[in-house]
Protein backbone atom coordinates (compact mmCIF):
# COMPACT_ATOMS: atom_id res chain seq x y z
CA UNK A 1 0.00 0.00 0.00
CA UNK A 2 1.44 3.35 -1.00
CA UNK A 3 0.50 5.17 2.23
CA UNK A 4 2.28 2.51 4.28
CA UNK A 5 5.39 2.80 2.14
CA UNK A 6 5.36 6.59 2.50
CA UNK A 7 4.98 6.32 6.28
CA UNK A 8 7.92 3.92 6.49
CA UNK A 9 10.08 6.18 4.32
CA UNK A 10 9.15 9.25 6.39
CA UNK A 11 10.05 7.44 9.62
CA UNK A 12 13.39 6.38 8.12
CA UNK A 13 14.16 9.93 7.01
CA UNK A 14 13.27 11.41 10.40
CA UNK A 15 15.40 8.77 12.11
CA UNK A 16 18.30 9.58 9.81
CA UNK A 17 17.99 13.29 10.57
CA UNK A 18 17.90 12.59 14.29
CA UNK A 19 21.01 10.45 14.04
CA UNK A 20 22.75 13.17 12.05
CA UNK A 21 21.98 15.73 14.73
CA UNK A 22 23.32 13.59 17.58
CA UNK A 23 25.72 14.96 18.60
CA UNK A 24 24.87 18.35 17.17
CA UNK A 25 27.25 19.25 14.34
CA UNK A 26 29.05 22.59 14.58
CA UNK A 27 27.61 25.64 12.85
CA UNK A 28 28.44 25.63 9.15
CA UNK A 29 29.11 21.89 8.96
CA UNK A 30 28.22 20.65 5.44
CA UNK A 31 26.19 17.80 6.97
CA UNK A 32 23.62 20.39 8.03
CA UNK A 33 22.77 21.10 4.38
CA UNK A 34 22.25 17.42 3.76
CA UNK A 35 20.06 17.12 6.86
CA UNK A 36 18.00 20.10 5.70
CA UNK A 37 17.35 18.35 2.38
CA UNK A 38 16.28 15.23 4.26
CA UNK A 39 13.90 17.30 6.40
CA UNK A 40 12.42 18.76 3.22
CA UNK A 41 11.91 15.22 1.93
CA UNK A 42 10.08 14.33 5.14
CA UNK A 43 7.83 17.38 4.68
CA UNK A 44 6.99 16.31 1.12
CA UNK A 45 6.21 12.80 2.31
CA UNK A 46 3.95 14.20 5.03
CA UNK A 47 2.18 16.36 2.47
CA UNK A 48 1.65 13.37 0.20
CA UNK A 49 0.19 11.38 3.10
CA UNK A 50 -2.24 14.21 3.89
CA UNK A 51 -3.35 14.35 0.26
CA UNK A 52 -3.91 10.60 0.19
CA UNK A 53 -5.96 10.91 3.37
CA UNK A 54 -8.02 13.76 1.85
CA UNK A 55 -8.73 11.66 -1.25
CA UNK A 56 -9.96 8.79 0.90
CA UNK A 57 -12.30 11.07 2.84
CA UNK A 58 -13.68 12.80 -0.25
In this prediction, residue 50 carries a pLDDT of: 96
Mean pLDDT across 42-57: 95
pLDDT at 58 over 90: no
Q: What is the mean pLDDT of residues 7-14?
A: 97
Cβ 35 vs Cβ 13: under 8 Å = no
- So what's the pLDDT on residue 1? 85
Q: What is the pTM of this model?
A: 0.85
Residue 1: partners with Cβ closer than 8 Å, 6 or more residues away: none
Convert 25-57 to b/e letters by CB count within 10 Å (16 or more is b): eeeeeeeeeebeebeebbeebeeeeeeeeeeee
C-alpha–C-alpha distance, residues 23 and 8, integer Å? 24
Amino acid sequence: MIAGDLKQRRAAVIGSVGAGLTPLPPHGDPILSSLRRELNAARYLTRALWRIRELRVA
